[in-house]
Chains A and B, each alone.
Chain A
Amino acid sequence: MSEATFTLDGKTIPFREGQTIMQAAMAAAAYIPRLCYHPGLKPHGSCKLCTVKVNGRHTASCTYQAQPGLAVESDTEELNGERRSLLQMLFVEGNHFCPSCEASGNCQLQATAYELKMMTPHYDHFFPDRPVDASHPEYLLDFNRCILCSLCVRASRDVDGKNVFALAERGIKTRLIVNAESGLLADTNFSADDMAAHVCPVGVILRKRTGFSVPIGQRTYDINPISALPQPKAGES
């Protein structure tokens, strides 16, 4: 039986029934920008970076089921321009100070911004006041860099079975919280073995006292741009 296929920017992509466009594209090593998608977790469709055009209509590729014969556009000037605007909004909503961030070089937000040639933040910075939670002996939460991707929420709930993290409030006030009356990570059952400890795409959930131990030139995205890296498979962080 011949494989079902669709086209992504003119390239033929095979897929299995039930796969999303994102899953099929990743299996074929075709890069679609994304921040809230992880192959080991249910898709959330919230960051909108993976938005593609399917038969001319915008949709999130991480939630859209692949179907035979679809004509999917992704790497176009229009879509990349929209992605840049989304990135710029993410940058100004938080406090993303790359020069002194220990996630620099390993950060998917930074790497995606480089990939999509985001040159300036464009919008006015919000400069939110978000104190660091350093209560846990091994891990630190720097909420300044949170992009509300909810990967930690899903990892903790669906894989770790713990519900350590949640997104509280709504709209512009949405924020990441932890499951403790004190509001402190030290008072949750968070553990270094949790998937949630390793899934943050930016610099929020950080192992303490290890920052900057990898020299410049040897960090993840020093070596290859994010689009050229091997695509992670389900179960990988």
Chain B
Amino acid sequence: MTHSFETAARPENLRRVAIDPLSRVEGHGKVTLLLDENNKVQQARLHIVEFRGFEKFIQGRPYWEVPVMVQRLCGICPVSHHLASSKAMDVIVGAKQLTPTAEKIRRLMHYGQILQSHALHFFHLSSPDLLFGFDSDMAKRNIVGVAEKYPDTARQGVLLRKFGQEVIRHTAGKRIHGTGAIPGGVNKSLTVPERDELLKDIGQIVAWSRDAVHLIKQMHNQNSALYDGFGAFRANFMSILGDDGALDLYHGSLRGRDADGNILFDGMDYQDYTALIEEDVKPWTYMKFPYLKSRGPQDGWYRVGPLSRVQNCDAIPTPLAEMERREFIDYSANTPLHAPLGYHWTRMIEMLFAAEMINELLHDDDILGTDLMTSGERAEEGVGVIEAPRGTLIHHYRVDENDLVTMCNLIVSTTHNNQAMNEAVRQVALQYLDGNEITEGLLNHIEVAIRAFDPCLSCATHALGKMPLQVELLDNTGAMLSTFTRSADNG
């Protein structure tokens, strides 16, 4: 653990290096490093400096508006917020069990979302680092560079994402920010032509997803020292799982494990998540630090997302992805792999799982059904949890007798991973930057670690060489010693 590098003992005597902003689109963040006179890292922090206010301004709004409004939190995975809030509102309207058509349409939408988001993250955002090297020529370290040197890989990435977006369009009405899920069900099912359009391509999508797993697996096998060691740190991990312990990204109960893989809790109803999770606040960032109450803030923080899910489940219920999971487990010799770059491998296993699930659902006639809605006894409070592409997503609402929201609490994947991302930043800073002169390539190592968790922060950093990255070196009086700027003009 590197908690000691969260706050330096004598920060006033140290030089400050800031990577600000890390992002300009989906999650404004920055990294600050405090270095001593020998360039030794004394403090490293990832700050999320955005303040969105959704939890406040959703108050006083009618509950049926929530799934459409809160999805605007994100442009990459809005379906996750759309579905998590819809699940919470299902509880409010007493829809304990959705109709088969509604449940399967929502699952189809969600797996379309997993597919497109995972493809976007791996191919568009992270593959330039992995294919060219973390400190390779910055001018080529982007998706255009990938398209030039590896045209088939880039093309597959684009088409995989496009297919996922089409699944979303057919189930939600639009590729981004649709309205498919409503409290108690969905507003549409698939028509036969819509289903047939998707069926036409799904075989190729499954095959390409499998190729993608093989690509990242090959990278691990060829350079296991780098892939297993880069920014590695031990952590607890958590996700929801299906009732049988199998991977299920739409619904299930919570299971947590410690860093050795021992189960801490299992089968926990997420309606009671407040008994499990506490949120800590720190003065230097807007983002909270969730932790497991039973273990306290020091030892109770955890990791969510693909790396957690694939290692947390007992099996994956589709054959090709299950085969890949077993290989992954064998690779890590049956002990949890704590390498941030392992996120990419497990993410691709999940993409394959999503493709196989879409294939399965497209062959199920329930998705053509007309029984879309259900309801029951009205409740005042509801929690909806889903496994979003980046990890566990919790939506919690209270609704008054006049149908207006009175309370909203959201714990999003990036928040769960807050401490873990900070740990990765510190590990990489200590492994690569400590004692060295700072270069763009070294700074990109830090971004590579962050990118492994959350593409919302990486989207701007691979925006075709235009990432507005500025690093300033200040002396202990705050005077500027030197500055390094990366922009479209010089970059």
Interface check B96, CB cutoff 8 A: no
Interchain CB contact under 8 A, A140 and B72: no
Whole-angstrom distance between the alpha carbons of A140 and B64 in the complex?
A: 12
Interchain CB contact under 8 A, B188 and A140: no
Interface check A55, CB cutoff 8 A: no
Whole-angstrom distance between the alpha carbons of A4 and B60 in the complex?
A: 55
Interchain CB contact under 8 A, A100 and B402: no
Interface check A211, CB cutoff 8 A: yes
Interface check B197, CB cutoff 8 A: no
Interface check A215, CB cutoff 8 A: yes
- Interface flags for B221-249 (1: CB within 8 Å of A; 0: not) read 00000000000000000000000000000
Interchain CB contact under 8 A, B68 and A212: yes
Given A99-B177, A100-B72, A208-B62: A213 in contact with B187 (beta carbons within 8 A) = yes
Q: Which residues of A contact B72 (CB under 8 A)?
A: 99-100
- Interface flags for A53-95 (1: CB within 8 Å of B; 0: not) read 0000000000000000000000000000000000000000000
Q: Interface size of A by Cβ–Cβ distance < 8 Å?
A: 20
Interchain CB contact under 8 A, B402 and A216: no
6 nearest A-B pairs in the assembled complex, by CB-CB distance? A216-B173, A100-B69, A134-B402, A215-B188, A211-B64, A215-B187
Interchain CB contact under 8 A, B187 and A132: no
Given A99-B72, A131-B60, A209-B64: A215 in contact with B403 (beta carbons within 8 A) = no
Q: Which residues of A contact B67 (CB under 8 A)?
A: 212
Nearest CB to that of A97 among chain B residues?
Answer: B69
- Interface flags for A131-145 (1: CB within 8 Å of B; 0: not) read 110110000100000
Interface check A168, CB cutoff 8 A: no
Selected contact of B68 from candidates A99, A131, A132, A214, CB within 8 Å: A99
Q: Which residues of B contact A132 (CB under 8 A)?
A: 60-62, 404
Q: Supply 26 A–B pairs (Cβ within 8 Å), ascending by A.
A: A99-B177, A100-B72, A102-B64, A102-B65, A102-B68, A131-B60, A132-B60, A132-B61, A132-B62, A132-B404, A134-B403, A140-B403, A209-B183, A211-B64, A211-B182, A212-B64, A212-B67, A212-B68, A212-B179, A213-B182, A213-B187, A215-B173, A215-B179, A215-B180, A215-B188, A217-B173
Whole-angstrom distance between the alpha carbons of A131 and B57 in the complex?
A: 12
Whole-angstrom distance between the alpha carbons of A87 and B62 in the complex?
A: 26
Interchain CB contact under 8 A, B403 and A209: yes
Q: Which residues of B contact A215 (CB under 8 A)?
A: 173, 179-180, 187-188
Whole-angstrom distance between the alpha carbons of A114 and B364 in the complex?
A: 39
Whole-angstrom distance between the alpha carbons of A213 and B93 in the complex?
A: 15
Whole-angstrom distance between the alpha carbons of A104 and B183 in the complex?
A: 18
Interface check B145, CB cutoff 8 A: no
Interface check B155, CB cutoff 8 A: no
CB-contacts of B181-217 with A (<8 A):
182-183, 187-188
Selected contact of A134 from candidates B174, B178, B404, CB within 8 Å: B404
- Interface flags for B411-445 (1: CB within 8 Å of A; 0: not) read 00000000000000000000000000000000000
Nearest CB to that of A184 among chain B residues?
Answer: B402
Selected contact of A140 from candidates B62, B173, B179, B183, CB within 8 Å: B62
Interchain CB contact under 8 A, B68 and A135: no
Question: Given A100-B72, A140-B62, A214-B187, list of 8 further CB < 8 A pairs?
Answer: A99-B68, A100-B68, A102-B64, A102-B65, A211-B182, A212-B187, A215-B187, A216-B179
Q: Which residues of A contact B69 (CB under 8 A)?
A: 99-100
CB-contacts of A209-226 with B (<8 A):
209-217
A16 to chain B, nearest CB (A): 43
B189 to chain A, nearest CB (A): 10
Q: Which residues of B contact A216 (CB under 8 A)?
A: 172-174, 178-179
Nearest CB to that of B173 among chain A residues?
Answer: A216
Whole-angstrom distance between the alpha carbons of A209 and B65 in the complex?
A: 9
